[in-house]
Amino acid sequence: MLAALGYSTIGLFLLLTMTRRVSVLVALVLLPVLAALVGGFGDELGELVLEGLTTVAPTGIMIAFAVLYFSLMVDAGLFDPLIRGILRVVRNDPLRITVGTAVLTMCVALDGDGASTFLITVSALLPVYKRLGMSPLVLSGVVCLGAGVMNMIPWGGPTVRAMAALKLESSEVFTPVLPAMAFGIVWVLVASYLIGRRERRRLGMLDPRGHGLTEDRGGDDIVDEKAPQARPAAAGEGPGTLRIPAPVAPSARAWLTVFNLVLTIALVVGLILEVMPLPVLFVLGFAVAMLVNHPTWEQQQALLDKHAKSVVLVTTMIFAAGVLTGVLTGTKMIDSMAEALVSVIPDSLGGHLPVLVALTSMPLSLVFTPDAYYFGVLPVLGHTADGFGVPPAEVARAAILGQMTTGFPLSPLTASTFILVGMSGVQLGEHQRFIFRWAFATTLVMTVGALVTGAFSL
């Protein structure tokens, strides 16, 4: 009964949110509460919800101050040189911008932390997308693909969990799938090219005369009146130069820009080296940045007022997700769902278990939390594979190809997903519909790569 109730809760959540029947926040809170009441856990409901909220509290705190920090830096013009550089390289071409998004994401994602990857990448690139009128779904989708593949690194979430759950070494889990990971990286570049080409067709190239976005249709220029318009080039500038407005005071002062750059680099290095817990780093970083950039009380209040809406939208979603995970975990629904999943695998498929795990792990990321999958489902799958003469290490390799790797930026059970969609300004259901098939294709490509290179057998 618990397994059926858990699957029904997740299925109903996906149905209601993807069809826009209710908001994600409402579904995250009310559906698990309803499931707990139906399952007879009414007396424990308060404790279950509180436990879930406590679990996600550090993430919620980190996101609140991270959004404030990077919003401050965007306002201060810290990313304007990067934006100008990107625009010079990509030449206002949506296709090149999309591919550049994938490359930048995969570079930033080397720190192994999805949350910081989304915060840094979206903060830097969202202004570019807005200026050219590109869809924010393209941004969230391509970042999702790039971060997903890079999440396979040994210090990332899935590989660490797989090694711990099955008591394996990195050489047994990660090293054999390196070629498959290379397949995935190439596919992400191909996918971003295809997505970018479609976005280019939708928008057209920026008119070299600097008059806006146009599309060549039989020689006639069709101007998108809603698209951002480039300001006419000033004297001495080349034709069609897209001018980025100069940042407002006091960020125009060179010393302040240098200070912001040094502070941000120090913060990123601190995140990578984990010198302190992530929430602490962002709390301290934002406090210092606000004091230096906005030294008066009035300026500080104005900054908080300006970005309060963004903070509330993102953090409330994080805490609402805590209600769902708290109820599913505390009532043991997740454990029952794992047992039910393994029990339906027929004996005839036992020898093909690695391939089956690889193909199902990405969709299952929408149902299971990372911890539930790796510490609940994977050990049972590994034991089952061993009984069929399949090394458990092959099952671990298959699991990291989809679960968390391409599924975590889509799952409503992963807090960082709400960072990505919240900062990009898109709805979770729209994001899932837009990028799911591309993400699943990534898993398929890497599975083929793993089979070809011998990471696991068919």
Instruction: Using the structure block, give the residue that is written with the tokens 């890079």.
Output: 150
pLDDT in tens, 156-208: 667 777 887 777 887 888 889 999 999 999 999 999 999 999 999 988 755 43
How confident is the model at residue 49, as a pLDDT? Answer: 92
Q: 336-375: buried (b, 16+ CB within 10 Å) or exposed (e) per residue?
A: bbbeebeeebeeeeeebbbbbbbbbbbbbbbbbbbbbbbb
Residue 111 has pLDDT above 70, yes or no: no
Residue 335 to residues 6, 56, 339: CA-CA distances in angstroms?
Answer: 10, 20, 6
Q: Please give the structure tokens belonging to residue 340.
A: 């039910």
Kindly report the pTM of this predicted structure: 0.67
Residue 19 to residues 16, 50, 324, 405, 432: CA-CA distances in angstroms?
Answer: 5, 29, 19, 25, 11
**How far apart, in whole angstroms, are the C-alpha atoms of residue 78 and residue 75?**
8
pLDDT in tens, 208-262: 333 344 333 333 332 333 333 333 334 333 333 334 444 445 445 688 888 999 9
pLDDT in tens, 407-427: 667 877 777 788 888 889 898
Share of the chain above pLDDT 70, in %: 83
Q: Please give the structure tokens belonging to residue 398.
A: 């298959």
Mean pLDDT of the chain: 79
Instruction: Using the structure block, give the residue that is written with the tokens 């899935």.
Output: 158
Residue 112's pLDDT band, with cuts at 50, 70 and 90, is: low
Of 139, 140, 137, 122, nearest in space to 82 by CA: 122
Residue 55 has pLDDT above 90, yes or no: no
Establish whether the linkage from the previous residue to 232 is cis, with ω within 30° of 0.
no
pLDDT in tens, 293-347: 999 999 999 999 988 887 887 788 778 888 887 888 888 887 787 677 677 777 6
